Structure 1
Amino acid sequence: MTARLTDYFDAYAADYAPYKGGAWCYEDGCLYRGLIALFEATGEQRWFDHLKRLIDKQVSASGELAGYTVEEYNIDNILPGRALVTLARQTGDERYRKAAHLLARQFDTHPRIAAGPHWHKLRYPHQVWLDGLYMALPFKLDYAALVRRPALADESVQELLTALDLTFDTASGLYRHGYDESRLQSWADKETGLSPAHWARSIGWMAMAMIDMLDMLEPAPARDDLAARLSALLSKLETLRTEDGRWLQVIDQPGLAGNYAESSATAMFAYVFLKAARLQLTQADASVGLQALDALQQLSLRPNQQGRTVLQDICCVAGLGGFDGHYRDGTPAYYVSEVQRDDDIKGVGPLMMAYAEQVVGAKTALTKETAVA
């Protein structure tokens, strides 16, 4: 099964067409995160070569990014910047550092809600979405280390903790997809500002932000706070799995008509459980992540009509508010109505990351066994 999975990843990266025609975008950043995870876990040069080949098409000799403008104030555009930080460290090439600086400057003027976190996008004013926590904050923390700006690192952690406070739903122990500071959106509760449902992938984005930032942080009270919140979330997530170990599109409504085991969220949670177990986080059971990873391989990685193996059951996109001529109201029925897309990178990238964590976990366990022996 391992060879089958790595062959699938290799073929996927070799054939990958930039998600938005080559313009800088978060979707490509999902692939970059997967390739970096595979390279760091295995040491195999092919993963680094795929990464550099793809990203070099988007970064000019002077460090400009294809199709990127700061003034768009799209928090999603920050995610691929983590690959720039990695390449700057690995190669010493100054253009990657310059491009990372360009992205970081967006934070200087990107609008914020009164409590501190950035708006999700200029077109979604006064709103914080869970997706955006993963898009922006691990980069901000990683970049802060690259340029030695501890105040920026502290800011990133505080923004995450504040956003978690704002989006937490006490009754369920889960987090809502969106928060509207202004309470002007139709999807926003007039008292809390929260959207009405628990979308699995949005929680997956958030959980990946939490574990990646925990991995980068030194021991401190803020890190302890973040670890406690993630431990509580993992405990809740463990109770919401399907019988085969996956998670539903609307994560807490198994009786919802049209609800289904969604692959991108399942891959994200597999990654988080495995990485949290490696970091010895309370409530982090590696077997939960391993079961989810196995379920994806057995049930969701299937041949399509052309005979090519693809990852299925992936929600293509979901959001809140007006988009493409219709209004997304954030209800459970809305989330299950969104189109599914085979092999969407928002599922494949996290699957790469989950597999990489399995590899690292196996190596760590072997090292411990050898040391004991």
Structure 2
Amino acid sequence: MLHDYFETYVRNYRYYKGGAWCYEDGCLYRGLIALYEATGDTSWIDHLVRLVSGQIDAEGRLIGYEMEEFNIDNILPGRALVFLHGLTGKTAWLDAAAALARQLETHPRTGSDVYWHKLRYPHQIWLDGLYMALPFRMEYARAISSPDMVDEVLRQFSAALDLTYDRDADLYRHGYDEARQQPWADASSGLSRAHWGRSIGWLAMAFVDIIENLPHGPARLDLAGRSSALASRLLDLRTADHRWLQVIDRPDESRNYPESSATAMFSYFLQKLGRLGGPNSYAQAGRAALRSLVSEELRPAADGTLKLHNICCVAGLGGFNGRYRDGTVEYYLSEEIRPDDIKGVGPLMMAYAETLLDRRSSAPQSTHPHDEIRLAAAKR
């Protein structure tokens, strides 16, 4: 069922913003790459090349992309360019990605040396942005053999984790305002007010995608410990049917609901963490979440077509389209829910691909007794 659903979805997909380079399309590209890597089915690559090529003009420029906007979201689809360069050896793909790398060279940063989320969100770090920019920078650094760039990614990621961590809740907050200027930011900590599930989902995916690109050593050990701690906390926050809520730690809120994009992201995170050597309980929890998500939310819409339901369309902080998003529980529960939004379908592809990889794996976990993730989990 899932294969047919994904094939129909991507065949009928229309660019999220009319063809302009954007992170939403990048979510689909990550899903297509994951499905190809799990299956070897080149039809997924055919779709990827078709769609990415449609966003590059005859001069090799990214359509609709303006570096001067310093929008961190625009970096995410660049991972498809780096991947296609590695797959095909064609330099044109990496040349197109170079524009995004140049943005990150001059992108504004906080005093702690972490990228601002966007030029129009000054002095702010959002969890979303960690996923949008840092795995790309890591993969681009490997493509051009730049160890200094890898080190910078790790410094930024570690600093951002420290700044967004809410010790009392043992979770990460959606946003941090270094300047303490935003009404959504706590005057003391600079943190936003609530724990939005998908923002933590973006962070969780950044964890495993960065860890995957690291050799064994102190840096990987540090991130393994932090990711294992997050995984353990997520297991505590599951609903009775193995999903996660829109406001992840507020089951007491009557309007709260199991949100599909966060659930798909956590399924991917937990399964991949297990595949990278973490406890099998992580992977089992991720697979259980995927089964529940498909059973509960992949169902016909009013027009009879199969759709993934209960996806939060968008959420953010600060002013947007004439509205101030204050980061409260009530705000997150007020945002539009849209079936089949790519921010849910892309992670669903990725979570399903992890399940396929698990089925293909023939190596028992006992063959990895020294893996940092397992050691980190065992210490908890």
Give the shorter-chain TM-score range: over 0.9
CA shift, 1:109, in A, is: 1.1
CA shift, 1:91, in A, is: 1.6
* Aligned counterpart in structure 2 of residue 132 of structure 1, from 121, 124, 129: 129
On the 8 A contact 1:232/1:283 being kept in 2, the answer is no
> Do structure 1's residue 20 and structure 2's residue 17 form an aligned pair?
yes
Cα RMSD after superposing both structures: 1.2
1:44: which partner in 2? 41
Letter in 2 for 1:145: R
CA shift, 1:157, in A, is: 1.1
1:286: which partner in 2? 283
Structure 1 moving runs of 4+ over 3 Å: 366-369
2:156: which partner in 1? 159
* Aligned counterpart in structure 2 of residue 82 of structure 1, from 79, 83, 94: 79
Letter in 2 for 1:204: G
> Do structure 1's residue 189 and structure 2's residue 147 form an aligned pair?
no
On the 8 A contact 1:137/1:209 being kept in 2, the answer is yes
> Do structure 1's residue 60 and structure 2's residue 57 form an aligned pair?
yes
2:378: which partner in 1? none
Residue 299 of structure 2: SS of its match in structure 1? strand
1:254: which partner in 2? 251
Cα distance between partner residues in 1 of 2:237 and 2:245: 8
> Do structure 1's residue 363 and structure 2's residue 367 form an aligned pair?
no
TM-score of the aligned structures, taking structure 2 as reference length:
0.95
On the 8 A contact 1:274/1:286 being kept in 2, the answer is yes
On the 8 A contact 1:317/1:339 being kept in 2, the answer is yes
* Aligned counterpart in structure 2 of residue 210 of structure 1, from 200, 207, 229: 207
Cα distance between partner residues in 1 of 2:74 and 2:338: 22
Cα distance between partner residues in 1 of 2:364 and 2:280: 21
1:175: which partner in 2? 172
CA shift, 1:275, in A, is: 0.4
TM-score of the aligned structures, taking structure 1 as reference length:
0.96
Residue 212 of structure 2: SS of its match in structure 1? helix
Cα distance between partner residues in 2 of 1:227 and 1:281: 9
2:323: which partner in 1? 326
CA shift, 1:63, in A, is: 2.2
* Aligned counterpart in structure 1 of residue 309 of structure 2, from 309, 312, 326: 312
Unmatched segments (≥5 aa) in structure 1: none
Cα distance between partner residues in 1 of 2:288 and 2:87: 33
CA shift, 1:285, in A, is: 1.7
CA shift, 1:27, in A, is: 0.1
Cα distance between partner residues in 2 of 1:126 and 1:367: 46
Cα distance between partner residues in 1 of 2:360 and 2:6: 20
> Do structure 1's residue 7 and structure 2's residue 1 form an aligned pair?
no
* Aligned counterpart in structure 2 of residue 103 of structure 1, from 100, 113, 127: 100
Residue 20 of structure 2: SS of its match in structure 1? coil
CA shift, 1:284, in A, is: 5.4
* Aligned counterpart in structure 2 of residue 343 of structure 1, from 340, 344, 354: 340
Unmatched segments (≥5 aa) in structure 2: 368-380
Question: How many residues get paired?
Answer: 366
* Aligned counterpart in structure 1 of residue 143 of structure 2, from 128, 132, 146: 146
On the 8 A contact 1:231/1:283 being kept in 2, the answer is no
1:275: which partner in 2? 272
Instruction: Determine what percentage of the aligned residue pairs are the same residue.
Output: 58
Cα distance between partner residues in 1 of 2:80 and 2:336: 29
Letter in 2 for 1:87: L
